[in-house]
Structure 1
Amino acid sequence: MTRAYIGLGSNLDEPAEQLRSALLALDGISATRLAAASALYTSDSLLPGQPRYTNAVAAIDTELAPLQLLDALQAIENGQGRVRKERWGPRTLDLDVLLFGDQVIDLPRLKVPHYHMHARPFVLYPLAELVPADFHLADGRSLAQLLQDCPFVGLERL
């Protein structure tokens, strides 16, 4: 089993409920179990004019390969009404593979560690709830340093 961390986000159609449903769906993925989930957080959208986002991070243990997991996550997104009109548009559900064990992955469909997580407090602070204080990403970066460089600004813990 590989421990993976999944970022969850939603800003449409009752976002907190979308995330709760997604957590149940994560636990239902074949050869995968939900190990833990962070609290929910709200934050402003990265783009002006969009509703606030609700975010969380889940820890899962999986026997799936990284791209198999990505396919399963996208199936959950689609099942919860995700429509991909624009890259940064509002969404019912966004599921991102943040970390996959100790692997660094650089594929056209999947980059792990997630390429923007270092600049996203709505990812880093929920992740910090699930890992030890001395946690390091597979690429060697310290989560403590990333948190220091990305302050808890604009976040509200629910």
Structure 2
Amino acid sequence: MSVTSYIIALGSNRRGRHGGPRAEVQAALVAIGGVRAVSRIHETPPLGPSIRRFANAVAEVESGEAPEALLRRLKALERAFGRRPGQRWGARVIDLDIVLWSGGCWASRTLTVPHPQYRARRFVLAPLAEIAPDWRDPVTGRATLPLLHAVDRRRPCA
């Protein structure tokens, strides 16, 4: 397979062997390799049952791996960082998700690209807008910035 680009979402809300959540995200970026661009690290509120805030970022990564192969490598990195299976949206040392792929769509038993939930997740779209504001969703054809604005419009005013 030729070299393609992936958008990877990174998140952490638990201390690991590299330090706090920000340090875990930074260490994961180094471990992934092939990083062409990376957003700043955003501190975001937890979803679901977790009470700890998250450090979230998005990276554009170049790889010659097919989506399934990259997914296997990312899951192996999560395990190496100390991630254990557990409660959905619970505390985790690192979470690595393939969000988008320059090859368009991919669907298998274990992976769907684009990530089915990314269009509704500000913690993915805001960092993505920093590094790839014009990247188009292969399903809707909408660019990152309009997707982010749509999520912001749905948020209630405080």
TM-score, length basis structure 1: 0.87
Residues 7-63 of structure 1, C-alpha deviation per residue, up to 9 Å, x if partnerless? 000000010010010000011xxxxx1111110001111124520011000110100
The Cα RMSD (Å) is 1.8
What's the counterpart of residue 18 of structure 1? Answer: 24
Identity %: 36
Aligned-pair CA distance for 1:75 = 0.9
What is the number of equivalent residue pairs in this alignment?
Answer: 148
User: Using the alignment, how far apart are the partners of 2:89 and 2:41 within structure 1?
Assistant: 21
CA deviation string 1:60-104 (max 9, x = no partner): 010001000001101111111001112221100000000111321
Task: Quote the Cα distance in structure 2 between the aligned partners of 1:134 and 1:110.
Answer: 24
TM-score normalised to structure 2 length: 0.87
Preserved CA contact (<8 Å) 1:102 1:138:
no
Q: Give the residue type in structure 1 aligned to 2:108.
A: L
Structure 2 counterpart of 1:90: 91
State whether residues 77 and 94 of structure 1, in contact with CA within 8 Å, keep that contact through their aligned partners in structure 2. Answer: yes
Partner of 2:148: 147
* Equivalent position amino acid for 2:94 in 1: L
Q: Partner amino acid for 1:22?
A: A
Listed as ranges, the gaps of 5+ residues in structure 1 are 28-32
| Equivalent position SS for 1:72 | helix
Q: 4+ residue runs of structure 1 moved beyond 6 angstroms? A: none
Matches within 5 A, 1:1-158: 1-13=3-15, 14-27=20-33, 33-131=34-132, 133-139=133-139, 140-151=141-152
